[in-house]
């Protein structure tokens, strides 16, 4: 057991409910200590919202905790067990390079997992070193905080600490640990693990725990496990719609990377669209486009079906009845996604409600964007401020037809032009974490220990709907060569 950190005034308030589940679901695991840990990025605002003493933790003491060298008082470190379909193939997994310190109870009563990612070997490392390189941990910090700013449900990043322990990948890389904060790490794959290798009683214990933690209102209903499925379907329909609306590509939508809470998690080979290309893939390992931008809703539905399979024994004793009920619930996913996406797209165009012809208006704009290789985010930003000269298709006849149809639709609604403009400002971000900007920030930090670019980028993406003059600097698009050659990697 590691040394317990002797700083109770830091505000740690752990109540580790997951560790009270049957031991099948985890292995007690201490993180491996760093050599000379140093805290390089710290999220003061997030720390304070968790009830932590940000000033005290933004120090050598904090570096010890956030590197896994010291254990905060009240923590019960464990590695969680789970399985998953990875690119369609089912396998046993688990936290191979992560340790859950415990669950922090925030001042508002909310419960958050505090997890160290990259803190060394666990029982589930499968021959890996359990470590993480600095670059991918900085990428997760940037992207997760940007997603939070965009209003997309997400895990968040509390800190990044360097360990002074080299990580061997294609070369020697500086090692680091990311401290991740999530409403839980309950995954579709957690249920797949329970269904495959657990008893009925263990599966039920997990489902009851999930309901208590995330959906307590369904406990008293006639079929709480069916309602659990319906709630997860609803959350995922909302989540993937937000991904599509912001141009986000997760990159590795394996079932172990999908949470029942409906939060985005496990930022590996993720990126944002520049040019609107529905089939775009950034991940270096996604050779067939399984997790492309346009496939994300379909894959979410597929993943939900795998989750539903695990609940069949709980939904009804009669398997045939249970399957019918689950399939009926799953059948509504597409409709729910479409409703969420449509509501978001009409808002991006300043439209209140949904009228006949809106589908065609949206489809025609996306076709214009695709045909003209238009930038996704900047096109909607240009429309928000009615600067059509900044679009890739300004002056083209088919755009003029679309533009006149859009203006006619706006003029025909009872809401004022100002109300539409405000709706668009609040729905279309000024900026996203551009891939080339993210790479430049990471390169400066890793190669030169210069974190100024990263700090500036994180500050810019924290409030993307502010539309300030300062944010304009981050709206530039990559060069054609940068866009063509850009690839992302999972970091393992």
Short-list 407, 410, 408, CA closest to 420: 410
Question: Each residue of 218-251: b (16+ CB within 10 Å) or e?
Answer: beeeeebbbbbbbbbbbbbbbbbbbbbbbbbbbb
pLDDT of residue 366: 98
Taking the alpha carbons of 237, 242, 244, 248 in that order, is the dihedral positive or negative? negative
Q: How many domains does the chain have?
A: 1
H/E element, 74: none
pLDDT of residue 309: 98
pLDDT of residue 9: 67
Residue 116 CA to residue 369 CA, distance in Å, equals 41
Short-list 14, 18, 76, 27, CA closest to 205: 18
Q: Are 386 and 376 in contact (CB under 8 A)?
A: no
Residue 24 lies in a domain: yes
Query: What's the angle, vertex CA 110, arms to CA 105 and CA 111, rounded to 5?
Result: 55
pLDDT of residue 489: 63
Low-confidence ranges of the chain (pLDDT < 70): 1-9, 483-492
Residue 34 lies in a domain: yes
Q: Which residues are catalytic?
A: 256
Residue 432 lies in a domain: no
Residue 66 CA to residue 316 CA, distance in Å, equals 44
Range of the domain at 36: 8-186
Residue 191 lies in a domain: no
Short-list 226, 132, 147, CA closest to 179: 132
Residue 59 CA to residue 76 CA, distance in Å, equals 23
Residue 74 lies in a domain: yes
Residue 326 lies in a domain: no
Residue 468 lies in a domain: no
Plot region of 110 (φ>0 → left; ψ -120 to 50 → alpha; else → beta): beta
Q: Please tell me whether the overall predicted TM-score, pTM, comes out greater than 0.75 for this model.
A: yes
pLDDT of residue 1: 47
Residue 347 lies in a domain: no
Residue 415 CA to residue 403 CA, distance in Å, equals 19
């Amino acid at each position: 057991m590691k040394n317990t950190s002797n700083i109770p005034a830091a505000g740690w308030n752990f109540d580790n409910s997951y560790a009270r589940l049957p031991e099948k679901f985890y292995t007690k695991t201490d993180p491996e200590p760093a050599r000379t840990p140093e805290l390089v990025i710290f999220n003061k605002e997030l720390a304070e919202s968790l009830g932590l003493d940000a000033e005290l933790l933004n120090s050598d003491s904090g570096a010890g905790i956030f590197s896994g060298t010291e254990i905060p008082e009240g923590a019960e470190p464990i590695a969680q067990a789970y399985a998953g379909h990875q690119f369609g193939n089912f396998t046993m997994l688990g936290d191979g390079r992560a340790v859950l310190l415990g669950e922090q109870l925030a001042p508002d009563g909310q419960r958050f997992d505090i997890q160290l990612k990259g803190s060394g070997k666990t029982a589930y490392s499968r021959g890996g070193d359990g470590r993480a390189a600095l670059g991918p941990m900085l990428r997760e910090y940037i992207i997760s905080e940007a997603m939070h700013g965009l209003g997309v449900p997400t895990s968040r990043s509390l800190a990044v600490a360097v360990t002074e322990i080299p990580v061997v990948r294609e070369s020697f890389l500086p090692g680091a640990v990311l401290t991740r904060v999530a409403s839980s790490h309950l995954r579709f794959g957690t249920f797949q693990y329970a269904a495959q290798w657990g008893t009925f009683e263990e599966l039920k214990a997990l489902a009851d725990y999930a309901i208590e933690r995330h959906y307590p209102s369904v406990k008293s209903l006639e079929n709480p496990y069916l309602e659990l499925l319906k709630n997860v379907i609803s959350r995922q329909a909302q989540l993937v719609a937000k991904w599509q609306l912001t141009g986000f590509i997760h990159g590795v939508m394996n079932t172990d990377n999908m949470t029942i809470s409906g939060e985005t998690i496990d930022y590996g080979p993720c990126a944002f669209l520049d040019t609107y290309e529905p089939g775009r893939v950034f991940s270096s390992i996604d050779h067939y486009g399984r997790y492309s931008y346009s496939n994300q809703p379909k894959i979410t539905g597929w993943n939900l079906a795998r989750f539903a399979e695990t609940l069949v024994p709980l939904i009804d004793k009669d398997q045939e009845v249970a399957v019918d009920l689950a399939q009926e619930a799953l059948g509504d996913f597409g409709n729910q996604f479409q409703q969420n996406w449509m509501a978001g797209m009409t808002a991006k165009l300043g439209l209140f409600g949904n009228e006949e012809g809106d589908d065609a208006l949206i489809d025609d704009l996306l076709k214009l964007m695709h045909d003209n290789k238009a930038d996704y985010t900047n096109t909607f930003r240009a429309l928000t401020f009615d600067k059509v000269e900044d679009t890739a298709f300004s002056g083209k006849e088919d755009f003029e037809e679309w533009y006149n149809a859009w203006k006619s639709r706006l003029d025909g609604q009872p809401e004022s032009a100002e109300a539409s403009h405000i709706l668009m400002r609040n729905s279309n971000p000024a900026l996203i974490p551009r891939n080339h900007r993210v790479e430049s920030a990471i390169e400066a930090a890793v190669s030169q220990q210069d974190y100024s670019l990263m700090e500036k980028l994180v500050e810019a993406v924290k409030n993307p709907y502010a539309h300030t003059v300062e944010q304009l600097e981050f709206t530039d698009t990559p060069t054609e060569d940068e866009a063509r050659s850009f690839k992302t990697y999972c970091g393992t």
